[in-house]
Structures are given as C-alpha cells and as structure tokens.
Structure 1
Amino acid sequence: MYALLDTIATLPLPTDAQRLFHGRGGCYPGCEHLTLDYFAPVWLLTSFQPVAEDDLERIGAALAARWAVLAPDAPLNWVYQLRQEVKAETRVMAGSVPEPHVVSENGARFRVHLPRGLNHGFFLDMAEGRRWAREYVATRPGARVLNLFAYTCSFSVVALLGGAGQVVNVDMSDGALAIGKRNHLLNGLERGASFLPHDIFSSWGKITRSGPYDLVVMDPPSYQKGSFVAEKDYARLIRRLPDLLAPGGHALLCLNSPKLGPDFLQEQVASLAPGLVFVERLANPAAFVDVSSERALKVLVYRQPAPAQG
C-alpha cells in the first residue's frame, strides 16, 4: 500500500476527471487491487478485494493531509468502493457527494453517479478515444457518426462538440441513454443526436438506414451475460463494418478484456473485413500504465479506403 500512500502525498489538484493511481496495471506490487480516481470534488478509492479498516484510516489520513495543502478552505470528500465479482459496496468515508454530480473532461461535461453500482456513467480509461474522435470529426465538419454500445453517450457529446453533423447512439439500456440525453443538454447540444434503445443483433435495419457513416465507434462490454461475449460476438460487429462505413470513413474498435490482446481484433478484421486498413492503436491515458500492453485497454483505428480516382 506504500505506493498508493506515496502517490497521495504528491497528488496534484486536477480540474478534469481522471485516474491518479492505477494499481490494476500491475506496476505497483502489493497494490494490484487498488485504484484512485478524482471526480471533482470527490476522490474515489476502488478496491477489488477487502481493505482492512486500519488501512482505510491510513488512506483517509493521507488524503486529508494532502487536501489540507491543495484546498485548505474546502471539505475533503472521498468515497470507498469494494468490488467483488458483480457486486459493489460503496461507502462515503468523508464529506459528501453532490447530486447531481457533474464532472468535466477537455471542456465537455458529464453526469456521474459514484454511490451506485459498478459503473459510474463515465469511463476514465477512454479519454484518449474521446480526444481522437473529437479531433477526427473536427477535420470533417458535418460528419455522420454511429456510436454502438453508446452507454451514456460520451462519444456522441465530444463528436458533436467537434463539429459532427449527426450522431446515432445505440444501446440496449433506456436508462443509460436517458443519462446520455442529459449529457447532451449539459453541453448545450439540443440537435444532432438520436437515441436508439435497441439490440443491434435483433436487427440492423434501423442502423444501416441512417448510414453510411464517417465514423463508427464500437465500444462493447467484453463480457455481459445474455448480451455480449467478445470471443463470439465481436465478429458479428466486424462483419458489418464495410457496409456501415462511408468511403474514407474510420472505425474505432475498443476492447477492454485482459484475456484478449490486440491481435484478437486484428485477426478478425483481416478475416471478416479484409478491405479495411489498420491505422493505429491509440495510447491509453498515462495514468493507466500497465505491465502488459496485451492486457490493457485496446483501442484500434481502421479506415475504409476511398475509391481510386480514375
């Protein structure tokens, strides 16, 4: 736990939501179960195994000491979440959590929900994917974007802020899309987005009718029982890509499974959509350093070639 305490002792005061300590990456022996995030104005400590009460007290004391330096006139707010398999137990250890709780990233604003459930409404590890998408559409004003497994629609928000003309958000969860709609309003985005609560594997008709797209974002769960299992279902997505993409369009393929490396996606694209051209693998945010690039989040960019000019 000393690596975490050392990190806390020199913490900056971030303005954007971000991870500050990533024990899950395996770079800090003895801290593999711990992460520390900042969702202003709240620190979130997450553990994937139980933490002794005296250790929680030491972490709380370290946060309090650092906070007294960073923001001596503001109360310390910190939350501890214990995650075990598919369950989460969350405790407010000091201060409070605002409701509604709105955080920022690169000028965009998003609602988060720290006290409830395993997912907080905003995935910090996808920051570089959102940055890339926003910069990409900025070079293609009016771009049409398809956001599959949209969750709370952060890709849609940044695409529209970057100048996209239309984004189609598709997700099975009405609740997640409802938060996504609020995220658009938070950013003054009242036009340009549609929200489709839909199981893509039941029918592609509604999705293909709005295409082809200049950008397709595929960010599915790696495993969600009864909904999506990457090993067998990602192929069904990749097979559709050539028909979804406009000539010269790009796809962002995301995979967050420690069991599957980038070659899993690359081999499937080579087999099922061989016309697509690999562009690059995006780097993960620096805080998400991992001993294995194979195990870390994979975000791969592919391009649909434009027809040759005669």
Structure 2
Amino acid sequence: MQALFDAIHSLTPAPDARRIFHGRGGLHAGCEHLVLDAYPPVFVLTSFKSLADEDLARIGEALQARWAEVAPGEPLNWVYQCRHEGRSETQLMAGAVPDPHVVTEDGARYRVHVLRGQNHGLFLDMAGGRRWVRAHVAARPGAAVLNLFAYTCAFSVVALQAGAGRVVNVDMSAGAIAIGQQNHRLNGVEGGASFLPHDLFKTWGKVTRGGPYELVVVDPPSYQKGSFVATKDYARLMRRLPDLLAPGGHALLCLNAPELGVAFLQDQMRELAPSLQFVERVANPAAFADVSDERALKVLVYAAPEIE
C-alpha cells in the first residue's frame, strides 16, 4: 500500500471535494482496491476488499500524522467504507461528520452523506463534466437544459449558475431529487428549475413537451436492476435525442462502465442518431488517471445540425 501512503504523506488541505488517491485506475500495483477522497472536513477511505485491522490502523496513523503537520490543532475526521461481495459497511474511524454535511466544488455547494450508502451525493469523477456544462451554458445564456438521471442535480446547479434559462431534472429516485432541491436552495438557484421524480421511460411525454432543449445531459447508472442497464437501455435514449434537441443543440453522454469502451457509445450513435455529430470527449480530472482510457469514465459531446 505504499502508493496510498505516499499520497497521504503529500496531501494538503483544500476547500473543494476531490479525489486524493485513485487505486482503481490500475496505476498503483497492489492498491487497485483502494480509494481516498476528501469531502471536507472529512476524508473517506473506500476499499473494495476487506482490510486487516493492522492495515487500517497504519492508514489512520498516517492520516493523523500528516494532518497534524498541515492542519495543526484541527481534528482529523475520517470514514472507512468496505465494499465487498455485494455489501458495504461504513464506520466513522475518527472525529465527526457534520450534519448537515455541505461540500464545495468550483463555488457551488452540495449536500453529501458519507456515512450511508455507496453514493455520497456528489460523484467526484464527474467534475470535468460539470465544468464543461458550466462553460458551455455560460456561452449560451438562457439555454433550456434537460438533465436526465439527475441524481442530486449537480448539473442543474452549475447550469443555472452559468445562466441557463431553465433546467428540467428527471430521476426516478424521489429521495435523490429531494436532495437536488436542497442543493438548488443552497446555491440560490431555485428559479428556473423543475423536478420530475419519475421513471424516464414512462415520462417521455412530459419530457418531450418541455423541449426542445439546447443541452441534454445523459448520466445514467451503468447497471441498476429495474432502472437502467446500459447495454440495452442506452440505445432507447439515443433514438430520442434528435427530437429532444433544438437546432445546434448539444448532448452530453456519460458512461461509467469499465467493461464498455468509447466505441459502445460512438457506434450506436452513428446507427441510431446519425444526424448528431461527435464533437469531443471531455477529459476526466487528473486525479482519476486510469491505465486505460477505454476503462475510464466516458463523457462525450454530440451536436445537432444547425438550421440551414
């Protein structure tokens, strides 16, 4: 685990939520099961296999020693989550977790919950996608945005901060949508946002009537039984995109499935939405470097044709 200890020994305080160590990227032999994140003022260590008590103790000692150096007098707060054999167990190892727990990213504020569940309320690997949306909408003030699989609505927050005219957020989890509404209030951007806590595939009428949209964000789970399975359901979305987009509009297609490469999206888009042109792949944050770009998070931009 030396690579993890090296990352701990070089960490410094920073205001924004971020990844500190990304063993899952496969670049650090022997650490492929380990991830360390900062959700200030809390560090979250995640292991995808069981850790021995002595290893946990060593990690805790390393965090404590480094924190005493860079933040003297400040308490160390850290949480450990073990995800193994389809189960997850989370425990507070030191300090405390604020309630409510609010973190920042690029000036936006988000509610997070690091002591329950595997998804903490803000996907740190999507920071590049949120920055792309912020810049894209800032250049198109007043844009109408459709945010599919909105989760806690981070894309909506940054779009409205950047000047979007309205954002329609769709997610079948009423609980996630409720946190999304809190995120809008936290950032003072309630106006212009609407929320549909529905199954997208049963809500096409409402979604279509709200269009057309200058930007459609598609960020589904790769596999969620009863909700979305990328290998069969992504195609159903792609067929709809040309009708949802305004002339010259853009779609941001996201996929976090290591077993599915970029071609999974590009080949289907050529077949199912041939009028949309590939523009670029948005770079992932440097902290999420991966041994293979094909395994890493895919965030692709497509554009609809302008009116001739």
1:32 aligned partner, one-letter code: E
Which whole-Å CA distance do the structure 2 matches of 1:113 and 1:41 have between them? 12
The code of the aligned residue for 1:278 comes to F
Which residue number in structure 2 is paired with residue 75 of structure 1? 75
Match of 1:6 in 2: 6
2:52 alignment counterpart: 52
CA distance in 1 between counterparts of 2:23 and 2:124 reads 15
Deviations 1:76-109 (A, max 9, x none): 0000000124421001000010000000000000
2:119 maps to a residue whose letter is N
Equivalent residue runs for 1:280-299 within 5 Å? 280-299=280-299
The equivalent residue for 2:301 is 301
Conserved in 2, the CA contact under 8 Å of 1:34 and 1:46?
yes
Identical amino acids, percent of aligned pairs: 70
Are the counterparts in 2 of residues 79 and 93 from structure 1 also a CA contact under 8 Å? Answer: yes
Tell me the residue number matched to 2:157: 157
Question: Structure 1 length as normaliser, TM-score?
Answer: 0.98
Is the contact made by 1:259 and 1:295 (CA closer than 8 Å) also made in structure 2?
yes
4+ aligned runs moved over 6 Å, structure 1? none
SS state at 1:49 partner? coil
What's the counterpart of residue 109 of structure 1? 109
Question: CA shift at 1:227, angstroms?
Answer: 1.1
1:35 corresponds in structure 2 to: 35
Q: Encode CA deviations 1:8-43: one digit per residue, 9 max, x unaligned.
A: 011121211000100000000000000000000000
Contact 1:147 1:168 in 2 (8 A): yes
Q: Which moved more, 1:194-203 or 1:210-219?
A: 194-203
1:131 alignment partner in structure 2: 131
Q: Which residue of 2 aligns with 1:94?
A: 94
Task: Between 9-18 and 234-243, report the one with greater CA deviation.
Answer: 9-18
CA contact (8 A) 2:35 2:45 kept: yes
Structure 1 residue 307 displacement after superposition: 1.6
Amino acid at match of 1:93: M
Q: Distance in 2 between matches of 1:76 and 1:227?
A: 38
Alignment of structure 1 residues 168-247 onto 2, 5 Å: 168-247=168-247
Check conservation: 1:87, 1:117, Cα contact below 8 A: no
Give the distance between the partners of 1:154 and 1:97, measured in 2 at CA.
Answer: 21
Tell me which amino acid in the other structure corresponds to 2:66. Answer: R
- The residue aligned with 2:259 is 259
Contact in 1 for aligned 2:21/2:36 (Cα 8 Å): yes
* Alpha-carbon distance in structure 1 between the residues aligned to 2:298 and 2:277: 17
1:190, distance to aligned residue in structure 2 (A): 2.3
How far has the Cα of 1:201 moved from its partner? 1.1
- The CA distance in 2 between the partners of 1:134 and 1:179, in whole Å, is 20
Pick closer, same or farther for the CA change 1:237–1:250 going to 2, 3 Å. same
TM-score, normalised with respect to structure 2: 0.99
Number of positions where the alignment pairs a residue of Structure 1 with one of Structure 2: 308
Q: Which residue of 2 aligns with 1:17?
A: 17
| Secondary structure, counterpart of 1:201 in structure 2 | helix
Superposed counterparts of 1:265-280, under 5 Å: 265-280=265-280
Deviations 1:182-230 (A, max 9, x none): 0000001121100001111123100000100000000000000111100
Q: Any idea what the Cα deviations from partners look like across 1:274-310, whole Å, max 9, x if unmatched?
A: 01010000110000010011000000000001022xx
Counterpart residue identity of residue 234, structure 1: Y
Matched residue type, 1:3: A
